[in-house]
């Protein structure tokens, strides 16, 4: 992890965030089919905004299981405005205070 706040690693430009070059050099972007692919790594952060609401209930549950398997302990899950984690038993996430739709894995 970094030693500064996340806000120090990007700047806002109109309706988007521009990530600093040093951070961008450490980010891996990969194509992943949420419906058919299994977990392929352990991540500290997963961003999935405005995708889940288009899935049926079974697929949403499948994707959330995938997120649970893929997020490291204390990893952060960022979801869309009307989305929240689907969990079948215990509460493995805590909502981060003051930030909409960000959840930390605590289990």
pLDDT value of residue 100: 83
Task: Give 6's pLDDT tier (boundaries 50, 70, 90).
Answer: confident
Give the integer Cα–Cα distance in Å for 63 and 36: 10
Cα–Cα nearest to 83, from 105, 60, 65 = 60
Cα–Cα nearest to 23, from 44, 47, 2 = 2
As a whole number, mean pLDDT of residues 6-33 equals 84
The verdict on residue 98 lying in a domain is yes
The verdict on residue 51 lying in a domain is yes
Task: Give 103's pLDDT tier (boundaries 50, 70, 90).
Answer: very high
* Residues of the domain holding 74: 34-105
Cα–Cα nearest to 48, from 9, 81, 6 = 81
Domain total of the chain: 1
Helices and strands per DSSP (H, E), number in the chain: 2, 6
pTM of the model: 0.74
The verdict on residue 72 lying in a domain is yes
Cβ count near 103 (within 10 Å): 22
The verdict on residue 8 lying in a domain is no
pLDDT value of residue 2: 65
pLDDT in tens, 37-47: 998 889 999 98
CATH of the domain at 65: 3.40.50.150
């Amino acid at each position: 992890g970094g030693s500064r706040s996340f806000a120090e690693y990007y700047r806002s430009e109109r309706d988007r965030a521009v990530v600093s070059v040093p951070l961008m050099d450490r980010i891996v972007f990969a194509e992943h089919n949420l419906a058919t692919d299994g977990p392929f790594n352990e991540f500290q952060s997963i961003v999935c905004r405005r995708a889940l609401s288009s899935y049926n209930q079974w697929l949403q549950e499948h994707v959330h299981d995938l997120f649970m398997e893929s997020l490291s302990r204390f990893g952060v899950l960022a979801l869309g405005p009307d989305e929240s984690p689907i969990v079948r038993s215990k509460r493995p996430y805590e909502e981060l205070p003051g930030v909409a739709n960000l959840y930390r894995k605590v289990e």
